Structure 1
Amino acid sequence: MTGLEMATAAAVFLAGGMVKGTLGIGLPLVAVPLLSLFMPATQAIALVAMPVLVSNAWQALDSGDVHGLRRFLPLIATQLVATLLTVPMTLALSPRTLNAVLGAVVLLAVVLLCLPLRLHVPPARERWWSAGVGALSGAMGGVSSLTGPLIISYLASLRLPREAFIGSISLIYLGSAIPLYASMAAHGRLGAADLTLSALALVPVACGLALGKRLRLHLSEVWFRRVLLAFLAAVAVALALK
């Protein structure tokens, strides 16, 4: 990476951290498509590895919620399998095709976040619903690393308490991130240089989280989310046309 690209990447990670600090979600949703505008999408996915792993591991431990692992084990299991099956196919795509796919996934994410699911999931059928959502989100994550919107919509429909929601979604994110990055490493798409740059990205992400926490106290989350979604839609179109 050139000096200009590294400075731009740092600004992108700062923005991603601000979004996560303000909304509690959205780091890869912001960082991956923006990075993909000036580097290969597979490299962009690799660079978010450390911020995604560290932030979600910390949130999972900080929540202290161990019940989420047992409750959502079917989701995590099917998500893992779907991710491992999808990543090799994704890495075989041409850069232009992968950008178009990533743009489509970002647009789908925008639609899901604009129109959150209003499902009623009976407790007796929750395991089956979880398995299906895990398979879909795993395929989505294997293509783009963006499992968040589908998982958020599903967990919101279950009306989990706030701490249980944070703990569960962090565990689920880890369940998709670990096989994703392990598979990329096995296929030679995540090396020591990528991990080093990804570790350096923790600095602007941490700064962004702190700024986002302050913004959350002064800005309307509704308007912030609307501006973010409009911006992501424009980025998705740019990726599809790239």
Structure 2
Amino acid sequence: MISSFAIPLIAPLTTSLTTPLLARLGVVAVIFVVAGFVKGVTGMGLPTVAMGVLGTLMLPAEAAGLLLLPSFVTNVWQLFAGPGVRALVARLWPMLAGIVGGTLIAAPFIAGGGGAWAVVGLGAALALYAAAGLLAWRFPVPARHERWLSPTIGAVTGVVTGGTGVFVVPAVPYLQGLELSKEELVQALGLSFTVSTIALAIGLAGAHAFAVDDLRASLAAVLPALAGMWFGQRVRGRIGAASFRRWFFVCLLGLGLQLMARAFV
């Protein structure tokens, strides 16, 4: 349980005027530096880490609003870091359409209709993703099944995104199951996350949980996220990627379980 002192310290930037703005900026900056670092090392994880940590400190809708611009900027950077974007869009558009539709349908849940259950859903999504990573779940996707599986995976991912603010389940395991090169996979993840971010922003705005004025708070998190991502990319070759990913998933699993447990304490 967060203490009464800590709650105003870590509240979102648009609330709690009694707390010094610099302190609130500092807390959010540290979170996004860490999240950006994870993305720089692994190629993913910024929205997941940011939503997971911020979800312990504020409502999921507020956390989702904060991560919109950092997620968009870093994923566009990742998306256009290599060639072949047009070919990926042509192949993955059914999944992307499903993500948009599912997110818009489910966004009212995270925007307030779900209450405490939105936190439980966030924790469950994080725990499931962490378990998949630790167990190295992979399922090959035969080309003949892509036509129906792609929009289905997209729709489910969209519902999870709209309900929890987490973009990764089940899109990431699905993309890993396609016959993509390493470079194409990184770009495909960036494409999926970019579309998810835009759809979530539209869904939150439509549910009156996000407004243009809230972009100022999200904008403040962009530079810390980029700094963390840059640093992560610099040290990626100097650390054991497999060991880093394993501990990343262990921490994510603990965070997810903690979020789920909050509904019962």
Report the TM-score range of the alignment, normalised by the length of the smaller protein: over 0.9
Instruction: Give 1:220 deviation, angstroms.
Output: 0.7
CA distance in 2, matches of 1:122, 1:95: 39
Contact 1:30 1:232 in 2 (8 A): yes
* Residue in structure 2 matching 1:170, options 180, 185, 190: 190
In terms of mean alpha carbon deviation, does 87-96 or 19-28 score higher? Answer: 87-96
| Counterpart for residue 254 of structure 2 | 234
Structure 1 residues 198 and 21, CA gap change in structure 2 (3 angstroms): same
CA contact (8 A) 1:105 1:144 kept: yes
Give the match for residue 107 of structure 2.
87
Contact 1:82/1:136 (8 A) holds in 2: yes
The match for 1:74 is 94
CA–CA distance in 1 between the matches of 2:176 and 2:143?
Answer: 15
Please name the residue that 1:51 is paired with.
70
Describe the SS at the equivalent of 2:139.
Answer: coil
Structure 2 unpaired stretches of 5+ = 1-12, 14-18
Equivalent in the alignment of 1:102: 122
| Identical-residue share of aligned pairs (%) | 28
Question: Residues 1-242 of structure 1: matches in 2 within 5 Å?
Answer: 1=13, 2=19, 3=21, 4-65=23-84, 66-242=86-262
2:26 partner letter: A
Deviation at residue 116 of structure 1 after TM alignment: 3.6
Instruction: For 2:236 and 2:78, locate their aligned partners in 1 and report how far apart those are by CA, in whole Å.
Output: 18
Number of residue pairs matched? Answer: 242
Q: Name the CA distance, whole Å, in 2 between partners of 1:127 and 1:238.
A: 38
Which structure exhibits the higher relative contact order, with contacts defined as CA atoms closer than 8 Å and separated by 6 or more residues? 1
- 2:125 touches 2:169 (CA, 8 Å); kept in 1? no
Gaps of 5+ in 1: none
Identify the range of structure 1 (110-119 vs 154-163) with the bigger mean alpha-carbon deviation.
110-119
Deviations 1:94-149 (A, max 9, x none): 54222112111111111122234432322222121111211111111111221224
Distance in 2 (CA, whole Å) between partners of 1:94 and 1:164 is: 36
Secondary structure of the residue aligned to 1:176 is helix
Task: Tell me the C-alpha RMSD between the 2 structures.
Answer: 1.7
**Code of the aligned partner of 1:61:** F
In the TM superposition, residue 150 of structure 1 has moved relative to its aligned partner by 2.2
1:145-185 deviations in Å (ceiling 9; x for gaps): 21224222111111301222122222222222212111111
> Residue type of the partner of 1:196?
R
Please tell me whether the aligned partners of residues 63 and 166 of structure 1 are also in contact (alpha carbons under 8 angstroms).
no
Q: Select between 158-167 and 115-124 the one with higher mean Cα deviation.
A: 115-124
Paired with 1:124 and 1:94, the residues of 2 have a C-alpha distance of 37
Provide the rounded CA distance (Å) in 1 between the counterparts of 2:249 and 2:169.
Answer: 12
Cα offsets for 1:46-88 (capped at 9, x unmatched)? 1000011112222223323210111011111112111111112
- Whose helix proportion is higher, 1 or 2? 1
Call closer, same or farther: CA 1:32–1:112 in 2, change over 3 Å.
Answer: same
